Amino acid sequence: MEAVIIAEVLEKSGKVHERCKLTHFPVTLGRAYDNDLILNDPYVSPHHAHIAFNENGELTLTDLGTENGTHCFPQMRPVSSLTLGTDTLLRIGQMLVRLRRPDYAVAPTRIDKRVNNRLATLFSSPATLAILTLLLFSLLGLNSYQSSAQTKTAGQLLLENIEFIVLVPIWAGIWALLSRLFMQHTAYVSHAVIASLGLIGFLSANVAVEYYAFGFSALRSADILFHLLLGLLACAMLYGHLRFTTLFSRRRIGIIAFISAASLVGLSGFTAYVQELEFNDTLAYSPELKPPQFQMTPDKSLEEFMRDAAKISPKLTPRN
């Protein structure tokens, strides 16, 4: 009778340590070298068990009356004789041995999101990088142009932003090096795309917060908003970079990125707080001036303004 059993010796973690195909029965298992399947474990008896057909023609494992016995795992039910099904897990000595028939149904194929990820494809495309670089240059140029009260050529505008333009390739290069070290691929384009997106995000956050500070005459809340946006940006960038640098799960990368960004924001917030405690003679006000169309709160009368301003002096305790 044609019968096949696949015997797998497992590690404690469940990984297969050793696998062999058993086709000719009876088969003997044990520590001694005259066995068909040699189990290298001091708790296994020299001749521990054998697998053979019973009178009904079924493959059966029989313990040979050993000291430590054979147990079904994980229930640890002792076994003297056991008919083998499609999937049997046994503890022999201190070893885990799995016996499976070829008709064992394996789990469906898992989808590799790394391979079949349209976002990852987009991030790795040089065309994306080219478009983002163009966008970044335009934003930097526009920003310089709009904040300049002097006539400037395109070259001067570009030169003003040279540090940003240089920063992106250097930053991407460092991450690419890390990718090369840990993943054997550089993913330079992906890192450069992330860096460009990060810088675009930073510039946008900066402008957005300035307009917010002007529109709402905000000082502290604008500060907090800016720090939160920076934290969010740092978290997103770190997540992206790590996705191309490690094989960690998304969840794990997310946690790492979040904690890093949160500590960064926390540290800068703490530094700002400590500086606030120090004496200085600067005026703590929001100096932003934007075109009047961006004013978001209604005009007050002078009387109302002075009534509100009267709330300043109680804050000036003699101690501070």
Of 136-165, binders to other proteins (CB under 8 A) are 145-151
CB atoms < 10 A from the CB of 268, how many? 13
Q: Which is nearer to other proteins, 56 or 301 (by Cβ)? A: 301
Joined together, the tokens standing for residue 276 give 């606030």
- The reply to whether omega before 46 is within 30° of 0 (cis) is no
Angstrom distance (rounded) from CA 183 to CA 253: 15
309 binding other proteins? (CB under 8 A): yes
Is 141:156 a contact under the CB 8 Å cutoff?
no
Nearest distance in Å: CB 157, other proteins? 13
Q: Out of 34, 67, 112, 299, name the contact with other proteins by CB under 8 A.
A: 299
Q: Of the ranges 78-86, 101-109, 184-192, 298-306, which one interacts with other proteins (CB under 8 A)? A: 298-306
Q: Out of 15, 42, 75, 279, name the contact with other proteins by CB under 8 A.
A: 279
Nearest distance in Å: CB 158, other proteins? 18
Angstrom distance (rounded) from CA 28 to CA 19: 15
Is 247:179 a contact under the CB 8 Å cutoff?
no
Whose tokens are 């510039």? That residue is 203
Nearest distance in Å: CB 119, other proteins? 35
Residue 192's DSSP bridge partners are none
Joined together, the tokens standing for residue 210 give 């300035």
Q: What is the CA radius of gyration of the chain?
A: 35
Q: Which is nearer to other proteins, 104 or 305 (by Cβ)? A: 305
Q: Which is nearer to other proteins, 20 or 159 (by Cβ)? A: 159
Angstrom distance (rounded) from CA 236 to CA 239: 5
| Residue span 217-246 as binding mask against other proteins, x where in contact by CB under 8 A, dash where not | x-x---------------------------
Q: Of the ranges 43-51, 108-116, 259-267, 301-309, which one interacts with other proteins (CB under 8 A)? A: 301-309
306 binding other proteins? (CB under 8 A): yes
Angstrom distance (rounded) from CA 295 to CA 212: 9
297 binding other proteins? (CB under 8 A): yes
Nearest distance in Å: CB 282, other proteins? 7
In eight-state DSSP terms, residue 203 is H
Whose tokens are 């303004």? That residue is 305
Q: Which is nearer to other proteins, 58 or 304 (by Cβ)? A: 304
Binding site for other proteins (CB under 8 A): 145-151, 214, 217, 219, 279-292, 295, 297-303, 305-306, 308-313, 315-318, 320
